[in-house]
Amino acid sequence: MEMVQPGIYAQKNMIYTKNAVPGQKVYGENLVNKDGSEYRRWISKRSKVGAAVQNGMDIELKPDMNVLYLGAASGTTVSHFSDILEEGIVVGIEYSDTVIKGLVELAEKRDNIAPVLGDARNPEEYNQYFDNYDYIFQDISQRDQAEIFLKNCRKYLKGDGVALLSIKARSISDSRLPEEIFDEVKNKVSSEFNIVDEVELSPYEKDHLVIKVKS
């Protein structure tokens, strides 16, 4: 096991995080014991951040950060964030009351996940938790995903914070070219923030781009 980024380990072209709750799988991933620690495989096909890391992006997530996670769903990626954030916490926003049940279950087993049932379109809905965050990640398959991202970054991103946006071209338009859609989103975002890195998620996801922004 070799640490490639804070809290993220690599072995034989696969990436892992140190399991915060040894013995427990979250979504059917493999557990690997090495040098006295247990590692959970981060399956890139199931997690967009996993795919971004696999494709070479430095996500700049550090163990002491407070993270706002938009579109947390049932917690597949959130569980790996929870592994990495040894001192930090991840606040997961999810709109659907069906899938958030999985996240609640996960949060009961780990002590650094705060599941919130809310709509990321209205950032005020969850302002009782933190006033701002070191890190924001968004994975929401909606037509207005860029606007949602900007709204949240404006309100919650710290001056020296990092934000990651996963863009799904197919939820913006079915017929236009993905590159055209990516450019459009990047233009919108870069009018307010600096895009410092970007990576496409193929072959793990089709027509997806992850961008990293700072203010």
Binding site for another protein (CB under 8 A): 88-89, 91, 97, 100-101, 104, 107-108, 111-117, 128-130
Q: Which is nearer to another protein, 66 or 77 (CB)?
A: 66
Q: Which is nearer to another protein, 7 or 115 (CB)?
A: 115
Q: How far is the CB of 41 from another protein (least distance, A)?
A: 26
DSSP string of 125-163, one letter each residue:
GGTTS-S-EEEEEE---STTHHHHHHHHHHHHEEEEEEE
Distance of CA 191 to the CA centre of its chain: 23
Q: How far is the CB of 192 from another protein (least distance, A)?
A: 26
* Token pair in block for residue 37: 């620690």
Q: How far is the CB of 90 from another protein (least distance, A)?
A: 10
Element housing 166 (H / E): strand 157-168
Q: Which is nearer to another protein, 94 or 200 (CB)?
A: 94
Q: How far is the CB of 151 from another protein (least distance, A)?
A: 20
Between CA 13 and CA 32 the distance in angstroms is 14
Helices and strands, counts by H and E, the chain: 6, 12
Q: Which is nearer to another protein, 50 or 115 (CB)?
A: 115
